[in-house]
């Protein structure tokens, strides 16, 4: 009889489903060679993914940081004197950074920082004036600044409007100086509120376009220019101590004075105007009888003929026919005329006449007889200088 336990030990039987330790080890050994390759493949896959992630992150960082790195090592300024030409405008109130940005945009300087560094090193940069400057492209910031601080390089729309011009003449002068069409000024003058005209002006800009030399902002519109001139006229009225309620009347008188008198006689001519207005029963029965008002009515300069005077009789600006002041100013008076109208020279005069057109010598009279004698002196001068008095009377 065979011992079942002995059989198991001698013959390695496994009817019970359990193998011996040696049998277990041998099966285990047979499985190991197949498992090892699978584990190495997983490790290589993970390593590849990790490397790909790192490489991607590195590339992204390089792409983002490259400009910063390049900028750190590269110059922020152009090296040479520049080439070509380009116009750069500096506006009133522009800061250094604003100017630098305009220069960079026009490719004058390489960077705003380059300009700011140059400006910080030159105290003259604080006094750069508004205007248009002719620059070169790709200049050094220092060279660009040198152009801006030199006032000889500054170009501005500079216009001189002289005293005594009619508004039509002012528009022509402005157009010539700025290049803005006359039609733009005519259109802009219709918007009294936008120009800041007082209500007493009744929408008419005549007389309120103060005569002076103006440096308008670059690219200023017709409306902007006229608004500046009106504001200056109002400022001059205030400076002369004129109350707002008297602006219109003062400008009417001042415009007549501007058209009739030289600088030395303006105060006395203003007094003649007031004496005639204050004495409706006086020698001129309330008539101003001013040639300049008829010139304005006809829009004709120079001496007028009798037929021309006669043709203006129905015009309210003809002060030989219509008593009192004309409806509005007849020109743009300057500061001295405004001062004379606001503060006339004391005196009894009712008449005046220029007896020498070359020198402007003017004689004043209180009576008609005295005025007749002065007129005779004028006529004697005209007889000797007929071309200069032609058409007068």
Percent of the chain whose pLDDT exceeds 90 = 74
- What's the rounded Cα separation, in Å, for the pair 309 and 313? 7
Residue range 294-309: average pLDDT? Answer: 93
pLDDT digits 0-9 by tens, 43-73: 555 565 656 575 666 566 556 555 544 444 4
pLDDT value for 38: 52
Pair (365, 283) in one structural domain: yes
Residue 41 lies in a domain: no
Residue 70 lies in a domain: no
Pair (124, 175) in one structural domain: no
Residue 12 has pLDDT above 50, yes or no: no
Residue 190 lies in a domain: yes
Pair (277, 361) in one structural domain: yes
Helix (H) or strand (E) holding 242: none
* Distance (Å) of CA 70 to CA 62, 118, 140: 11, 22, 20
Strands 351-356 and 131-137 turn out to be: unpaired
- 303 confidence band (pLDDT: 50, 70, 90): confident
- What's the rounded Cα separation, in Å, for the pair 354 and 259? 13
Residue pair 293/327 in contact (Cβ under 8 Å)? The answer is no
pLDDT value for 57: 63
Output DSSP code: residue 361: E
- What's the rounded Cα separation, in Å, for the pair 44 and 4? 52
Edge-to-edge strands of the sheet including 154-155? 83-90, 131-137, 154-155
- What's the rounded Cα separation, in Å, for the pair 96 and 119? 8
- What's the rounded Cα separation, in Å, for the pair 290 and 298? 13
Pair (142, 161) in one structural domain: no
pLDDT value for 62: 56
Helix (H) or strand (E) holding 202: none
User: Comparing C-alpha atoms, which of 224, 206, 107 is closest to residue 157?
Assistant: 224
Residue where one domain finishes, among candidates 155, 173, 196: 155
Pair (215, 295) in one structural domain: no
Residue range 162-191: average pLDDT? Answer: 97
Pair (269, 234) in one structural domain: no
- What's the rounded Cα separation, in Å, for the pair 331 and 161? 12
Residue 50 lies in a domain: no
The number of distinct structural domains making up the chain is: 3
Maximum separation of any 2 CA atoms in the chain, in Å: 184
Calculate the CA 21 to chain-centre distance. 104
Residue 9 has pLDDT above 70, yes or no: no
Residue pair 337/255 in contact (Cβ under 8 Å)? The answer is yes
Residue 245 lies in a domain: no
User: Comparing C-alpha atoms, which of 370, 389, 371 is closest to residue 381?
Assistant: 389
Beta bridge partners of 362: 354
Residue range 78-105: average pLDDT? Answer: 93
Number of residues written out for the chain: 393
Residue 13 has pLDDT above 50, yes or no: no
Backbone angles phi, psi at 356, to 5 degrees: -145, 110
Higher per-residue pLDDT: 32 or 207:
207
Residue 31 lies in a domain: no
pLDDT value for 59: 63
- What's the rounded Cα separation, in Å, for the pair 214 and 207? 17
Over its C-alpha atoms, the chain yields an Rg (Å, rounded) of 47
pLDDT digits 0-9 by tens, 328-376: 999 999 999 999 999 999 999 999 999 999 999 999 999 999 999 999 9
CATH code at 140? 3.30.1490.480
Residue 389 has pLDDT above 60, yes or no: yes
At 215, is the secondary structure helix, strand, or coil? strand
- What's the rounded Cα separation, in Å, for the pair 343 and 346? 9
Output DSSP code: residue 244: G
In degrees, rounded to 5, the angle at the alpha carbon of residue 328 between the alpha carbons of residues 356 and 229 is 90
pLDDT value for 65: 56
Residue 150 lies in a domain: yes
Residue 318 lies in a domain: yes
Pair (382, 271) in one structural domain: yes
What are the helix (H) ranges across the chain?
Answer: 4-11, 21-73, 96-105, 112-120, 141-148, 167-178, 182-188, 192-195, 222-239, 247-260, 266-278, 291-298, 306-311, 335-342, 368-384, 386-389
372: containing domain: 260-393
pTM of the predicted model as reported, rounded to 2 decimal places: 0.72
């Amino acid at each position: 009889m065979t011992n079942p336990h002995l059989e198991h030990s001698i013959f390695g039987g496994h009817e019970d489903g359990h193998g011996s330790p040696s049998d277990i080890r041998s099966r285990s050994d047979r499985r190991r060679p197949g498992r090892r390759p699978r584990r190495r493949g997983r490790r290589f896959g993970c390593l590849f993914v990790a490397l790909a992630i790192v490489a991607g992150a590195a590339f992204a960082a390089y792409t983002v940081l490259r400009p910063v790195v390049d900028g750190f090592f590269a110059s922020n300024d152009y090296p040479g004197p520049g080439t070509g030409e380009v116009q750069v405008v500096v506006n009133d109130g522009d800061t250094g950074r604003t100017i630098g940005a305009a220069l960079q945009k026009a490719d004058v300087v390489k960077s705003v920082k380059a300009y700011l560094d140059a400006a910080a090193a030159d105290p003259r940069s604080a006094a750069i004036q508004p205007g248009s400057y002719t620059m070169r492209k790709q200049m050094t910031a220092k060279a660009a600044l040198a152009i801006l601080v030199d006032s000889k390089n500054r170009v501005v729309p500079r216009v001189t409007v002289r005293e005594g011009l009619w508004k039509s003449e002012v528009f022509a002068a402005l157009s010539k100086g700025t290049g803005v069409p006359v039609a733009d000024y005519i259109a802009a003058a219709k918007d009294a509120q936008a120009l800041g005209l007082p209500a007493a002006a009744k929408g008419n800009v005549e007389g309120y376009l103060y005569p002076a030399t103006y440096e308008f902002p670059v690219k200023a519109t017709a409306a902007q220019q006229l608004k500046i001139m009106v504001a200056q006229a109002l400022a001059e009225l205030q400076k002369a101590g004129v109350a707002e309620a008297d602006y219109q009347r003062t400008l009417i008188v001042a415009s007549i004075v501007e058209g009739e008198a030289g600088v030395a006689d303006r105060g006395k001519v203003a007094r003649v105007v007031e004496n005639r207005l204050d004495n409706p029963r006086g020698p001129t029965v309330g008539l101003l009888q001013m040639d300049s008002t008829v010139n304005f009515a006809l829009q004709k300069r120079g001496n007028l003929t009798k037929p021309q005077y006669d043709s203006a009789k129905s015009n309210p600006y003809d002060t030989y026919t219509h008593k009192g002041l004309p409806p509005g100013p007849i020109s743009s008076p300057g500061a001295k005329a405004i001062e004379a109208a606001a503060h006339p020279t004391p005196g009894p005069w009712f008449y005046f006449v220029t007896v020498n057109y070359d020198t402007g010598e003017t004689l004043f009279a209180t009576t008609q007889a005295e005025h007749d004698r002065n007129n005779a002196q004028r006529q004697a001068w005209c007889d000797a200088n007929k071309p200069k008095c032609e058409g007068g009377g």
